[in-house]
Structure 1
């Protein structure tokens, strides 16, 4: 097969180059249309009960996550100058396109009983114009008698105040959201400079916009850094501009294909898909390194350029295909996860890794057949003294210190399993944001002063119209709220009861002692007042559906992580079950805090499954390739040990198990096994040439493939290492852990694998290993005379 492939490639060079150019232009055209993702990508599949519960809530009460919060800590807030400046800030923000509503101390409302009309009039707690400090003090005194606003817009104990900005949900799903947030920040920065104070910003829309801007910046930064590292490493090893230009051309073309594919599939750039371009650059370079090393090795051997290029295709084409297939499999397993963000990442990454193989297989032989042969300077890296000394040292270890290698390996496994037992799971809303980042600092400000910002909603369905307005329902909601107030992670619940208590206080002329739930006699009078008038009806509607059958209890939750949230969720439901009977009430616990916690749980479960599937798939590829189950175990061993080592490092250093760190294992395993495939493919070739001399075959395989393995490992180590400078903790962890895993994997493949092959000898290299999928061609019979004539003609032209 591969002889035929080599003929097709070398005989149809212009046609193939033209086809690749047209495909690249096509993908490049569509790549211009790819967009950033401006919508929240739920980790839950659409059929999940928790996701359905959230949609049910949104259908009844609308979105609960369209608030941008601005906070300040000011002990002199009610000083006239400070108060007026805060009021002007609110006014300026309200004029921004995309801002729909504001809630702050300066624009709060009070209810005043109108006996004549038998309704409550909604009046401003503070008038538009206040001329003196004495006047402000009087209004402030009245305002502080309204318990409704305590811990909602201000915290009297910490002197913290917030400005809650309701933003247009449609704009938040489009590119315009960046402009809305930027305009809010601009106005707030002006306030900070004028008043010499520090404002804090948070809310789900704000965090998502800030993160998307960072993703966009890092997409360009990491792509440029990855390309720069590859260029430096390639030139350092090969000392040839041609050996740098062609691999760079291949990976850039691969990136164009990937971005075009994103657009064609209707996908958008997310935190994960934003990593695809630099990942393809880093992962695509090893193909070129293996092929160029083989090309230079063959050319030095016989001096015929086209013969050398044909042997590149024949000798390592199949092995390179399988290495790309295993790497793609590591990414493709994410497709079984029903989370859109991971599934899209898996599809695009896996398809384009295979695309890089096609580009490498076509462009390297074609381009190098059209240009001059490599000079002695360009092939000088084959005798690199540093690399040669490393290879010699490795051969010495595998020959004379195998027992030490086995003891060290067993020790790593023992310590590794202990380290794994210390691993902990995690899952915070700002898990991927460093503690020094303003987003993290500001979130903690709101947690400390207002008990968090993550929305938690409890929907109470009474199963009958007007059921909410029954006093028994009020009592049960009050009973549940008192239980929820005992949790330090939760804010004070806000519900219809607060409006009723507020109304009762107004009914009794604003005396604070009447801020309590109406009794059965008072309820009818108060509801008559509260339900009259358009503004009052709107207040009621925010807590009731149109039939008054369903109401809500709104709570804010601290970012406590998946483990604690799971405990809280269980406790919530126990409290609910003890208050509400299922025959009369249908209770739904939902909100962004629940979907995020459930989504993280779902993701962790499925990523473990995808890792298991990756190992299974790659094992099957190995079995198909080598036709020996013993060789499958042999090939997997040096690649599983690095995973155990990395997991142990996570356990000892306290790096938690979370979505971003679980990704490491599937990615690293798929990449690290490539070295094993190349080594064993060459090892089997040498077995035929050395008359089944196992030790000599190991040495010869190590000498040739060891150089490529070291080159590719340097590229991969530094290529993934660039992600460690990301502003996202998850991306940092992925970069560090993948680099560490690959470093251990290359050591394992160059020391442990040869030691096992030579130490166990006949136990591992059985007769089944002789006739595997990869056919071995005779060195002198694989090139036909016709091909040699073409080669000679090309040599003369050059």
Structure 2
């Protein structure tokens, strides 16, 4: 007890000295914090990185496998243009001329290395013993109706085209532009490509207005990520206005609003400086840091301001005395809540998604600065600004506010409310287990984003945008010409087409069959794998020599011709189905092919599919550490081990309830939501700490029993908790309007968790405090605190 008393005295002395210093040297403190903010702000530099690779750490095994495959063949990204003529028939002279012209123009796309379209498809045919390879439709303007009809028949029977570059009825077609980005500065390279493509499409639409064009691919995906970042940054201005209005309404004080706004701006500018100093590149998840800091920083200021205003309005204290008392009551709770918030955001570093590392570190630094400014800049400003508030007449009828009434209700039925709360928490915990992971990158964007709507159209009318790729080895140099290898590859292709998810398979076995048929006078009986290795090698050599520049087989065959690339295009399926399909393919290869042909599936979609599961596994450890650290902080801060353990219940329960409600809403969790536990754990501790600190102050300083202490806590901190919760809900509600699902879903479930936290801290927490303290020796018999000030 002596140690606790000494610790309390030293803490009070420190806070008193701190407050006196800030008040005495108010101008110096204000100027000093302004200079600090300015110095940090001058270091601020915001660079954006929209490359989808940023979502994967360098040690991510799926990324390593995917990069290895691209290095083995061609490292490329793409832009796919899907054209839909208004007459519903691609194969007319006008439409083929238009497609041919756009294909030629597409070759001028910056960093382009290949352009595939139905017009330049390398069609093979044999004339006696010679193999001819030529564009399917060259100089379309000179084609007769009969020739165009023949082109149509060839295209609609060609497995290499149907459901890849042309749909089965010939009403929709695609031009696929392959680009090799240097990778030196994606923030400049990707916009350069997209600017050219968009201008090219606009010019094409001016010449051929009867075409609808939809754009997708990996380059547009990167562009969508970048544009989502910029759009979410714009939410800060909206949130800033809302905070000003909310603070003004709830505090009814212009001075308080100005002071709060100053703290928020200083905190955000400081975070910008941190970004510049650390060389962080902003991404869609990390670009929401201003809104988060703005929302969370307000909470620190609100607690100090609300208590100060209460002391002035209800107890008639002057501004300086009210400020000193408010700082005495709130300094440690604000410090604790800031510390727990920082711990919560820092746990994001345990995850496997680098953008969330950046978000956690930026917000953690911003909240550290917010605490500093809330305890220096804020009281200095409140001391400087003119401030007059008259004391209100406290008639008993007015003092009996709803906080008192609600407190008396809780005190009256603690057992019933505890059991009801536990039952409700248990029910939602069960529902939370019904959530499943789904990280389809297309669904990262809502329907208002053009990339999403265009991609959905392409999936519904032409081909899937998801794929899985395999590098199938032969075990020897030149082994891809081995008939045994080709037959096994053909078997794999045939098996793939029996799978319900598969839309198209692009494999070398199809090329080998097609060349063999052409070398035998286009006889369908020879649409098979060549009989001998020498024959297959000779046919492949003739075919490669006939291919024009840019349309070779380097994207399908490795340098020493020991491996080939199989690309399987799929319908839009969810993450578990994508992972299951890949594993099914790997198992088939394992059971039906020699060791050299065993391969693992790779692709961006597969990487994203596994990302949520990998993030969950890696964040589990971080969440446990966060829970332990925050519980220890509360035990030390509250100087009560029992209450420290007790605080775990109201801090963890809101997260369980939030995910339970989410199961009723979506029942699908993405990567962004995995960090919610650690993040919100640090945030919702705010309510618990402030309520418990007031409860303990009533017990220790005034000698109140548990029931009186609960009523005292409601009366002194109830308004502040409602105010901060309102601000937090507003801030995350604004963020929930983001068009980027990783951010909007995270914000939506956070809103639910924050609301749940307030309800639990207003019902379950005080009930538990009454029940667990009921057997303790108390100094006073319970009487209502209706007249207590």
Give the alignment's TM-score, normalised by structure 2: 0.89
Alpha-carbon separation, structure 2, partners of 1:734 and 1:360:
27
* Residue aligning to 1:689: 701
CA distances 1:577-611 after superposition (whole Å, capped 9, x unpaired): 022232x4452422223222222220132334433
Question: Is 1:502 aligned to 2:490, yes or no?
Answer: no
* Residue aligning to 2:603: 591
Change (3 A) 1:386 1:692: closer
CA distances 1:717-742 after superposition (whole Å, capped 9, x unpaired): 22211223222334333333222221
Change (3 A) 1:214 1:55: closer
* Residue aligning to 2:3: none
Question: Is 1:101 aligned to 2:111, yes or no?
Answer: no
Q: How does 1:164-203 map to 2 (within 5 A)?
A: 164-170=176-182, 173-189=186-202, 191-192=204-205, 194-203=208-217
* Residue aligning to 2:718: 706
* Residue aligning to 1:783: none
1:136 deviation in Å? 2.8
Change (3 A) 1:490 1:215: same
Decide whether the 8 Å contact of 2:710 with 2:766 is kept in 1.
yes
Change (3 A) 1:702 1:110: same
* Residue aligning to 1:342: 356
SS class of match (2:587): helix
Q: How does 1:344-383 map to 2 (within 5 A)?
A: 344-376=358-390
1:493 deviation in Å? 2.0
1:763 deviation in Å? 5.2
Alpha-carbon separation, structure 1, partners of 2:549 and 2:110:
27
1:34 deviation in Å? 0.8
The equivalent position to 1:399 in structure 2, one of 407, 411, 423, is 411
1:114 deviation in Å? 8.1
CA distances 1:161-186 after superposition (whole Å, capped 9, x unpaired): 11112234237822342343244234
1:357 deviation in Å? 0.6
Alpha-carbon separation, structure 1, partners of 2:439 and 2:125:
46
* Residue aligning to 1:792: none
1:555 deviation in Å? 1.9
The equivalent position to 1:490 in structure 2, one of 499, 502, 506, is 502
* Residue aligning to 2:336: 322
Alpha-carbon separation, structure 1, partners of 2:522 and 2:393:
87
Consecutive unaligned residues in structure 1, runs of 5 or more: 768-798
* Residue aligning to 2:70: 58
Give the alignment's TM-score, normalised by structure 1: 0.88
* Residue aligning to 2:302: 289
Alpha-carbon separation, structure 1, partners of 2:418 and 2:113:
68
* Residue aligning to 2:7: none
SS class of match (2:552): helix
Decide whether the 8 Å contact of 2:404 with 2:714 is kept in 1.
no
Question: Is 1:679 aligned to 2:699, yes or no?
Answer: no
Decide whether the 8 Å contact of 1:64 with 1:455 is kept in 2.
no
CA distances 1:682-719 after superposition (whole Å, capped 9, x unpaired): 22222233224332222222211111111111111222
The equivalent position to 1:276 in structure 2, one of 281, 289, 305, is 289
* Residue aligning to 2:660: 648
Decide whether the 8 Å contact of 1:450 with 1:491 is kept in 2.
no
Decide whether the 8 Å contact of 1:466 with 1:547 is kept in 2.
yes
Decide whether the 8 Å contact of 1:462 with 1:585 is kept in 2.
yes
Question: Is 1:240 aligned to 2:261, yes or no?
Answer: no
Decide whether the 8 Å contact of 1:423 with 1:656 is kept in 2.
yes
Alpha-carbon separation, structure 2, partners of 1:525 and 1:309:
90
Decide whether the 8 Å contact of 2:659 with 2:749 is kept in 1.
no
Alpha-carbon separation, structure 2, partners of 1:198 and 1:296:
62
* Residue aligning to 2:480: 468
Alpha-carbon separation, structure 2, partners of 1:361 and 1:662:
33
Change (3 A) 1:81 1:120: closer
Change (3 A) 1:528 1:426: closer
The equivalent position to 1:631 in structure 2, one of 614, 618, 643, is 643
1:509 deviation in Å? 4.0
CA distances 1:388-446 after superposition (whole Å, capped 9, x unpaired): 73312322212223244224213312422332243333222223333565433433333
1:322 deviation in Å? 0.6
Q: How does 1:96-135 map to 2 (within 5 A)?
A: 96-111=109-124, 121-123=133-135, 125-127=137-139, 129-130=141-142, 132-135=144-147
Alpha-carbon separation, structure 1, partners of 2:102 and 2:398:
65
Alpha-carbon separation, structure 1, partners of 2:263 and 2:574:
42
Change (3 A) 1:15 1:382: farther
Decide whether the 8 Å contact of 1:119 with 1:528 is kept in 2.
no
Decide whether the 8 Å contact of 2:473 with 2:564 is kept in 1.
yes
The equivalent position to 2:443 in structure 1, one of 431, 434, 457, is 431
Alpha-carbon separation, structure 2, partners of 1:381 and 1:79:
87
Alpha-carbon separation, structure 2, partners of 1:497 and 1:61:
17
Two-structure CA RMSD over aligned residues (Å): 3.1
CA distances 1:547-573 after superposition (whole Å, capped 9, x unpaired): 222221122233312211221122111
The equivalent position to 2:561 in structure 1, one of 548, 552, 563, is 548
Alpha-carbon separation, structure 2, partners of 1:123 and 1:82:
16
Moved more, 183-192 or 609-618: 183-192
SS class of match (1:41): helix
Decide whether the 8 Å contact of 2:84 with 2:212 is kept in 1.
yes
* Residue aligning to 1:226: 239
* Residue aligning to 2:11: none
